[in-house]
């Protein structure tokens, strides 16, 4: 989704801003732009397309300036074109602004400004905001900072903004509400960005802005943050523990492939310090520190979106099996708008890779207002959801740049397994032998994942046979049903082939009508407690001439003899099967997308971090 980068200090801003925009490309966008102050003029350059198009566009232009703001736009109001790209000028071109989020009351504000003689060059809500700031600044004869504060009080909606004034190249004003913004603190220089990826190259000292905070950045002065009511906020400087190499491709052609291959390592990071096989223990401090609230929860509600929602479905299975607590899984976007029943004493778990998904954050806020205790399972340290929850666990899989989520999914399922085990052990609701066997399986995950990654060449060959399929069905049962949904999502996200995931037995209630020799089915048929049932479902497909790719447990004879193609994965406790079995599904989607020449890391229309609802 939209990305902001801004810089003020002693260096040339252009290279920092362009590099920062490249780092934010993974979020998904359709146009890009930059504004720099030179000689008391703001030069704005913007274009539809990619950051490299912006670089070509600026080749012979004046790109001087030690202060600037830049943006990648993911269209909401108005199509992706040059006029709607950010930054936007104010009426007299004395201000320029970049914005993430949505100004909901922009039509009313625009009408009022038009009545005061303001003209608009774009269809965006953002242009309304910069015009409003200029209007207030001129009519009240106040500072940019005061004008921003006052304008934001009139705005309904979500925003992260950075504004510059051509008459003052010594300051940037930025603010946030419901859309992330972080400030990097250098030596007599400041960086602003939607997330830390454009900043870590320059400094590891950052300040995350909170909702309704406005920050004034002057290179020779201390950072100054106040809220919309002018109350000064205590500056909470955090130290980042992330390296640039984590953000680069490390020899792989795509981030997605790198992230798929990283999974054995990221699972080690995820379980490190949390499981102890010798002491036969699992320790999630988020649970242990809030035992009373968590163990006594009468009900658990898990809220999430996209891939995180699929992990949540596996979480439900794990928690209900091990802890005997009823669990409901909700799409955060639906949950927040249907006045859900939340009782004091309910435990809400919010799962989000980015920690910034607007719907999930809103569901968390709703849960909190209604008295639930909130547990976050997130990846991005310091992001909005972990800050809004009472406690939680980071999955610690490192930055995920490919838009299609891969290593975050396996990290989420692994944390959910450890969460269920910790609660179950405390509640004594799990048999000791079962607990120990899962503990061993957890420990062996990285090794098993390495083994599955060796299937890559075989999957690559298989992908060639199915590159031109128009539809795909994915089936699984039990723990592997959510995995069928995830496999289908991966394929459609990056290859644009229509794919559906179903619980295998549901096939006969509809999807079976689609089966013929042009409709391939990917069945996850590992040896588990309902293996025989899945075998029957495969027979139903074969009887109708459907092609079957089956994911089976090593040594399987029955399914392998029925399926057209089979892929063997090592045996693992069925509750952890999705962590291992998802790798072939990820690789299959990846290779098909490559065969089709798709942009796997930045698929069309998708955003990595969905900060608008």
CA distance 147 to 140: 8
Q: Give the chain's length.
A: 613
- In the bound complex, what is the minimum distance in angstroms from residue 380's beta carbon to ligand G6P? 8
Cβ closest to ligand G6P, residue 169 vs residue 608:
608
Which residues within the stretch 230-289 sit at the binding site for ligand G6P (CB under 6 A)? none
Residues 308-327 binding ligand G6P (CB under 6 A) are: 308
Pairing verdict, β 205-208 and 182-185: antiparallel
Q: Is 121 a catalytic residue?
A: no
Between CA 97 and CA 69 the distance in angstroms is 8
Count of residues touching ligand G6P (by CB under 6 A): 15
Member of 36, 569, 610, 612 binding ligand G6P (CB under 6 A): 610
| CA 407/CA 492 separation, integer angstroms | 18
In the set 46, 169, 547, 608, the catalytic residue is 608
For residues 163 and 401, which CB has a smaller minimum distance to ligand G6P in the complex?
Answer: 401
CB of 410 to ligand G6P, least distance (A): 13
Q: What are φ and ψ of residue 71, in 5° steps?
A: -155, 145
From the CB of 359, what's the least distance to ligand G6P, in Å?
A: 8
Long-range pairs for 323-328 at CB < 8 Å and ≥24 separation? Answer: 323/420, 323/423, 323/424, 323/427, 323/429, 323/430, 324/427, 324/429, 325/297, 325/298, 325/299, 325/300, 325/423, 326/298, 326/299, 326/300, 327/299, 327/300, 327/301, 327/302, 328/299, 328/300, 328/301, 328/302
E strand spans, 343-470: 347-352, 373-378, 391-394
Residue number, 307 or 410, with CB nearest to ligand G6P: 307
Range 332-371, binding ligand G6P (CB under 6 A)? 352-354, 357, 360
Residue nearest to ligand G6P (CB): 306
Segment 399-418, which members bind ligand G6P (CB under 6 A)? 403, 405
Question: Token pair 């952890």 is at which residue?
Answer: 576
Angstrom distance (rounded) from CA 405 to CA 486? 10
Minimum CB distance to ligand G6P smaller for 97 or for 312: 312
- Nearest distance from C-beta of residue 378 to ligand G6P, angstroms: 8
x/- letters, 291..310, toward ligand G6P (CB under 6 A): --------------xxxx--
Looking at beta carbons only, is 87 or 382 nearer to ligand G6P? Answer: 382
589 binds ligand G6P (CB under 6 A): no
Q: How big is the CA angle at 405 (ends 404 and 407), to the nearest 5 degrees?
A: 140
Q: Does residue 575 carry a catalytic annotation? A: no
Choice between 126 and 357, CB closer to ligand G6P: 357
Q: Which of 194, 198, 232 is nearest to 384 (CA)?
A: 194
Cβ at position 27, least distance to ligand G6P in Å: 9
| Between 120 and 496, CB nearer to ligand G6P | 496
Question: Closest distance between ligand G6P and the C-beta of residue 533, in Å?
Answer: 29
Q: What minimum distance in Å lies between the beta carbon of 352 and ligand G6P?
A: 3
Residues designated as active site: 2, 608
Which residue ranges make up the site for ligand G6P (CB under 6 A)?
Answer: 305-308, 352-354, 357, 360, 403, 405, 606, 608-610
């Amino acid at each position: 989704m939209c990305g902001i980068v801004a810089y003020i200090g002693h260096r040339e801003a252009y290279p920092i801003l362009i590099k920062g925009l490249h780092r934010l490309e993974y979020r998904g966008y359709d146009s890009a732009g930059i504004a720099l102050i030179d000689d008391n003029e703001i030069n704005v350059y913007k274009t539809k397309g990619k950051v490299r198009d912006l670089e070509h566009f600026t080749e012979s232009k004046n790109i001087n300036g030690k202060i600037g703001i830049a943006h990648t736009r993911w269209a909401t109001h108005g199509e992706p074109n040059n006029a709607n790209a950010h930054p936007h000028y104010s009426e007299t071109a004395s201000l320029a602004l970049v914005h993430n989020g949505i100004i909901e009351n922009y039509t009313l504000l625009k009408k009022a400004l038009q009545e005061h003689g303001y003209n608009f060059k774009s269809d965006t809500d953002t242009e309304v905001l910069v015009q409003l700031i200029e209007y207030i600044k001129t009519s009240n004869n106040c500072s940019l900072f005061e004008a921003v504060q006052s304008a934001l009080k009139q705005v309904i909606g979500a925003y992260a903004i950075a504004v510059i004034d051509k008459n003052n190249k010594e300051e940037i004003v930025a603010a946030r509400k419901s859309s992330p913004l972080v400030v990097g603190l250098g030596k007599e220089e400041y960086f602003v960005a939607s997330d830390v990826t454009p900043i870590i190259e320059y400094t590891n000292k950052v300040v995350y802005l909170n909702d309704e905070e406005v920050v004034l950045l002057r290179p020779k002065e201390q950072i100054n943050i106040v809220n919309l009511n002018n109350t000064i906020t205590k500056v909470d400087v955090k130290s980042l523990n992330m390296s640039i190499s984590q953000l680069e491709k490390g020899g792989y052609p795509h981030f997605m492939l790198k992230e798929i291959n990283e999974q054995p390592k990221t699972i080690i990071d995820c379980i490190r310090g949390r499981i102890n096989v010798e002491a036969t223990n699992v320790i999630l401090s988020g649970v242990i520190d809030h035992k009373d609230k968590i163990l006594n929860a009468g009900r658990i509600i898990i809220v999430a979106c996209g891939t995180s929602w699929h992990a949540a479905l596996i979480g439900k299975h794990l928690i209900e099996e091990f802890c005997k607590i009823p669990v409901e899984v909700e799409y955060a976007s639906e949950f927040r708008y249907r006045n859900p029943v939340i009782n004091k004493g309910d435990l809400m778990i919010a799962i989000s890779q980015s920690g910034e998904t607007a719907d999930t954050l809103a569901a968390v806020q709703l849960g909190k207002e209604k008295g639930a205790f909130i547990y976050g399972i997130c990846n991005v340290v310091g992001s909005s959801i972990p800050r809004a929850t009472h406690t939680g666990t980071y999955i610690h899989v490192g930055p995920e740049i490919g838009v299609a989520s891969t290593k975050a999914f396996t990290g989420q399922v692994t944390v959910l397994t450890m969460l269920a085990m910790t609660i179950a052990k405390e509640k004594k609701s799990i048999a000791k032998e079962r607990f120990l066997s899962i503990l061993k399986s957890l420990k062996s995950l990285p090794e098993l994942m390495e083994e599955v990654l060796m299937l890559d060449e075989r999957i690559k060959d298989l992908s060639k046979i199915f590159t031109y399929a128009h539809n795909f069905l994915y089936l699984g049962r039990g723990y592997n049903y959510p995995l069928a949904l995830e496999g289908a999502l991966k394929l459609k996200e990056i290859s644009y082939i229509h794919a559906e995931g179903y619980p295998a037995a549901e096939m006969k209630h509809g999807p079976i009508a689609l089966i013929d020799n042009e409709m391939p089915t990917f069945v996850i048929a590992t040896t588990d407690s309902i293996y025989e049932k899945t075998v029957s479902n495969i027979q139903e497909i074969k009887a109708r001439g459907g092609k079957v790719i089956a994911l089976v447990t090593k040594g399987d004879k029955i399914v392998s003899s029925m399926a057209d193609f089979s892929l063997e994965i090592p045996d693992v406790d069925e509750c952890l099967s999705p962590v291992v079995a998802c790798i072939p599904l990820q690789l299959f989607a990846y290779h098909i997308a490559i065969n089709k020449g798709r942009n796997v890391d930045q698929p069309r229309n998708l955003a990595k971090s969905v900060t608008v609802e």
